[in-house]
Amino acid sequence: MIDLAHRILTDISMVFDYAIVLEKVDYNFCSKVKKFLKTHSPTGFISIKESEIPELLRSISFYKNERSDIIRYALKFISLTFVRSKELINAEWSEIDWAKRTWTIPKEKMKMDREHIVPLATQALDLLSEIKEYTKNDVYIFPHYFHNRPLKSNRLIYALYDMGYKGRMTVHGFRSMASTILNEQNFNVDAIELQLAHLEANKVRRSYNRSEYFEERIKIMQWWADYLLDKFPEYISGKQLSLDM
């Protein structure tokens, strides 16, 4: 019901926007209503409060163990892109288009069996450049000890546990956190849902929205990266390996 309320409000808002163009009304009243609608986190996506974000980003930046370098890179990249864990660890360099600033995840790697495009913010591209220089791997962005295999997903959740976030934050929690905050910022709810790669239940609406909102999604991803860096400016700053307590 929460998603339905947001989508109905979005549709009504589009009508008001059109009415403004036709000079039938002067103001879109929906802009004041959205902030009063409830938002929800997907079940099981345990996530920290917004006030705890700076400390989480700091904890990730200074995390150390026997594989902390690649794990730190992976956690930073998933926080910037809020994809699913499986999509992250199986990411390959061939899926990155540096010129178009996108990461195209093939449908066979997606939960919904549909190709998914992730617009990459400037900070995400900077991070990718550092990762490539660090790993020297031509296939996997986040390789395991052996370069012909991807990093194991449980490494990420165990890292969060090591940082003291067991029961407070999960890897999927980055999706919940981004969804909640982006909705509160009044970004288009359909654009947010598309970026989260959620399958639209209504087949007609899904067909229509498939190629929509890409420019909006570019703005969303850059805003989100800027937001995280505002919370902890050193999060993506120079060589990650140079960070020291």
Catalytic residue among 76, 175, 213, 235: 175
Collect all residues with Cβ–Cβ distance below 8 Å to 228 and sequence separation of at least 6: 53, 57, 79, 80, 123, 235
DSSP E strand boundaries for the chain = 96-97, 102-105, 116-119
Q: What are phi and psi of 147, to 5 degrees?
A: -70, -10
Which residue in the list 144, 198, 219, 231 is annotated as catalytic?
A: 198
Whether the CB-CB separation of 177 and 51 falls below 8 Å is answered with: no
Start-to-end CA span in the chain (Å): 46
Annotation marks residue 198 as catalytic: yes
Q: Which of 116, 172, 213, 217 is catalytic?
A: 172
Q: Select which of 64, 107, 111, 206 is catalytic.
A: 111
* 208 annotated active-site: yes
72, 76, 84, 217: which is the annotated catalytic residue? 84
6 in active site: no
159 vs 132: CA distance, rounded Å: 22
Is 144 a catalytic site residue? no
d(C-alpha 232, C-alpha 57), whole Å: 7
What is the C-alpha to C-alpha distance for residues 176 and 12, in angstroms, rounded to an integer?
25
Count each helix (H run) and each strand (E run) in the chain, helices first: 10, 3
Residue 27 three-state SS: coil
Helix (H, G, I), strand (E, B) or coil at 68: helix
- From the candidates 18, 114, 208, 210, give the one annotated as an active-site residue: 208
Active-site residue flag, 111: yes
Which are the catalytic amino acids?
84, 111, 172, 175, 198, 208
